Chain A
Amino acid sequence: DAKTTQPNSMESNEEEPVHLPCNHSTISGTDYIHWYRQLPSQGPEYVIHGLTSNVNNRMASLAIAEDRKSSTLILHRATLRDAAVYYCILGAARLVFGAGTILRVKS
């Protein structure tokens, strides 16, 4: 399974943008980059995914490096409800989760 590396934790102020990085230097050409987030005692929630081009949806944006060895999840205006563990996963037939990044949002 291709591995991802994320910072253990990050902190943001409410209403400010957040950039969550993910390194995936061993990504293969067919691996999609998926982001999910998990609130305490809940199942994960889909955030966004992409292959090569940057992607935007109502939750977030995904910026993918040209060599695809890294990506960044962008939350444009963090709210307290965005506090969660964010997982960057390389998608294939199976989605294997790494350790993720704990995002704390300060009011």
Chain B
Amino acid sequence: GAVVSQHPSRVICKSGTSVKIECRSLDFQATTMFWYRQFPKQSLMLMATSNEGSKATYEQGVEKDKFLINHASLTLSTLTVTSAHPEDSSFYICSARTRPWAFEKLFFGSGTQLSVL
């Protein structure tokens, strides 16, 4: 089956620094990728949708200048948390689908646990 690789799996950083998370589709071309965040014991919250070669579409309430998303190729999307603060500590998960259609299933990465000190 299709594999989505997310890296790193865990990162600890100091407050004020930036952190980049990579999401790669290993054996398929991902025209659309999604980024979610998840707090402990809560559900996934959709942050943004990115289509290859286009600007990401952010969900209401998500700061696009703080969470920079780049989807430069059909196999790679990156999420950069800029000037991270402790409240940004969360589990970040990416997902990808081959085509942006409602019946296409999503393939998820294994997530990145971000801890900001």
Which residues on A are within 8 Å of B, measured CB to CB? Answer: 30-32, 34, 36, 38, 41-46, 49, 51, 85, 87, 91-100
Contact = CB atoms under 8 A, between A and B. Distances in A.
Contact of A46 (B94, B100, B102, B106): B106
Contacts of A42: 110-111
B105 A99 contact: no
A45 to B, nearest CB: 7
Interface stretch (B11-19, B41-49, B80-88): B41-49
Contacts of B4: 43
Interface band, chain B: 20 to 34
Given A43-B108, A94-B49, A100-B43, 12 more contacts: A36-B106, A42-B110, A43-B6, A43-B110, A44-B106, A46-B105, A87-B44, A91-B102, A94-B34, A95-B46, A97-B36, A98-B43
Contacts of A49: 103, 105
Contacts of B78: none
